Amino acid sequence: MEKETDMQDFAMTIYIKADPLVVWNAITGDEGNRAVMWGSVLRGDLVPGGHFEYVGPGVGGDETVHVYGDVVQADPGDILRLIEHPGPLSRENHAELTSRMTWRLEQAAIGLTKLTFTNDEWSPGHPSHADTVESWPMVLSSLKSWIETGEAIPPIDPS
């Protein structure tokens, strides 16, 4: 019997009417994160070898760690590459579960950024993998809306 190791990568490219540093600041700053990451903020040292956490309201209170991990690459206005684990309260085996998130920003024209987001290198059997098909398009659409209009899209109730 073959072990499930080939988990589909998620990749999406969008264009945002803003310069790459504005997009970078929305991805890494508190205000942008709170708007598009359901009230969470990105904490940590965004340098290679640094550690990060997405922290916000959840089952553990206002300081719930939803995702944590290590910074692989962080070049403001260019690329943010992270290795992530689900938060300790979301999965008992959180330390064993990983995936890589890459935010690549390119100046497409004056005042226009091409953002390519990839979520790949999933650990075998990662239970959050199936959620990416729905959650990342919502997050990226909300990010684009927030940067361009100042308003994130409202959360969608799956029921």
Residue 155 pLDDT > 90, yes or no? no
Q: Is residue 64 part of a domain?
A: no
Confidence band, pLDDT 50/70/90 cuts, at residue 133? confident
Q: What are phi and psi of 122, to 5 degrees?
A: -75, 135
From the list 76, 66, 2, the residue with the least C-alpha distance to 33 is: 66
Q: What is the pLDDT of residue 132?
A: 87
As beta bridge partners, residue 99 has 84
pTM for the structure as a whole: 0.91
Report the domain count for the chain: 1
Q: What is the pLDDT of residue 154?
A: 86
Better-predicted residue by pLDDT, 17 or 6:
17
Can you give the residue range of the structural domain that contains 93? 10-38+75-149
Question: Taking each helix axis from N to C terminus, what angle separates 132-149 and 20-28, rounded to the nearest 10 degrees?
Answer: 120
Question: For residue 29, what is the domain's CATH number?
Answer: 3.30.530.20
Residue 20 pLDDT > 60, yes or no? yes
Structure-block tokens of residue 103: 């935010």
Residue 120 pLDDT > 60, yes or no? yes
